[in-house]
A = this chain, B = another copy of it.
Amino acid sequence: MAVRAGIVVTGTEVLTGRVADRNGPWLAEALRVIGVDVGSVVVVGDRPDDLRAALAFLAAGSDLVITSGGLGPTADDLTAAVVAEFQGRPPTLDAALEQRIAAVVERLTAARGWDTPPEAAAAGIAKQAQVPVGATVLEPVGTAPGLVVPVADGRTGPPVLVLPGPPSELQGMWPAAIGTDLVRRALGEATELRQSTLRLWGTPESELAATLRRVDDQLAGLEVTTCLRDGELEIVTRYAPEAEPAYARLAQAIRSGFADTLFSEGPTIDELVATALDERGWTMAVGEADTGGLLTARLTRPPGSSRRVLGGVVAYANSAKEELLDVPAAVLAEHGAVSPHVASLLAQGARERFGADVGVGVTGVAGPGGGTPEKPVGTLYLAIADPDTGSMASHRLRGDRDAIRQRTTTLVLQALREHLTSEPPT
């Protein structure tokens, strides 16, 4: 792990959480693939002093510093100017670049039917065409060009790679960025860095910790991190190729210690469920209540999911459960909408109405209102119906409304996996 990069994400909207940062994690993974380790990601607002401080902090321990964001036409977009100053390379107008950006803006303005006053557009374009002396320009993917800015002659320090904030622009510019001479030289000695993942379902973190402590002296060269998320315990290990035997020992210790709960050596639960359905050639449909569409949205997220997911009904109101999924009013009256009986009927109703092989039904109390002493917030019933059989389970989850809705979708996917793998496809 000799070669290291540091990342600065700019934007008060990111710092204050109005927008989730997608660039830091994306860059960290893109760098790992080419053998570059990331020590830290620093998020700063749109303030020159804070950006300068972050650049100084990262430059001290990195072979390359990468910034994302702050390249737009507005006054709070100040990254290029601050980096130019930090590296000691004054910005100058690149007239040819200005023309190329103007052409892009003109095309966008026409396509979107904007009536931006020409002088307003021109001021923004002139700002975006400022290039520090000696910097390499990366052609715009949107309107903003990227930059690779070396430190001024006679000083020492890593180059700064300046990338735009919109994730599609940043990702589109990445291949060109790592192909520049400046970046290649900075990352010259990077070697492969492997990453392997094991996933457990139902093992508490403390049990895993005990196992890891037992084999600790055999794990030299491995960076093991564990993470508990929606009940799944994820073990991610990063290592150089020469530590492969140590990783094999770790994996074996976990395989033998947690045979019952180790459900994956790589694929996510979403991928495992999709594969299990596809192996049988089965389609599925959903009848969901408190998850409000989240479960179907998760199942339809992967490209091509339409071949296995026919759809779902979000039966929020009882009338919808009756009319769209054939849950009898008498069952709702006797057992309540949140009950094992209704979960089973939602699964059967989804299966029949959509003509699917598998139906999933889920009903619960996501809160914050709606709980009762018998069925408090977090109560959850889920059912699965397939051509041969069915299954039902109940759970009690903790957390706020968002967390309960989210965790419910993971629980359903785990139940689906268990159901689908309990007997091999015929």
Contacts and interface: CB of A to CB of B under 8 A. Distances in A.
Contacts of A297: 291-294, 297, 314, 405
A311 B316 contact: yes
Contacts of A32: 16
A212 B74 contact: yes
Contact of A354 (B224, B320, B399): B320
Contacts of A57: 53, 57
Contacts of A304: 369
Q: Is the interface of A mostly helix, strand, loop or mixed?
A: mixed
Nearest to A61: B53
Contact of A209 (B11, B29, B120, B209): B120
Contacts of A96: none
A17 interface: yes
Contact of A19 (B229, B324, B405): B229
A319 interface: yes
Given A72-B205, A116-B204, A124-B206, A314 B300 contact: yes
A391 interface: no
A133 interface: no
Nearest to A38: B15
A346 to B, nearest CB: 12
Interface in A194-232: 204-210, 212-213, 216, 223-227, 229
A373 interface: no
Contacts of A206: 73-74, 105, 116, 120-121, 124
A403 interface: yes
B317 A227 contact: no
A403 B171 CA distance: 14
Nearest to A31: B16
Given A15-B41, A124-B209, 4 more contacts: A15-B28, A42-B43, A168-B398, A305-B316
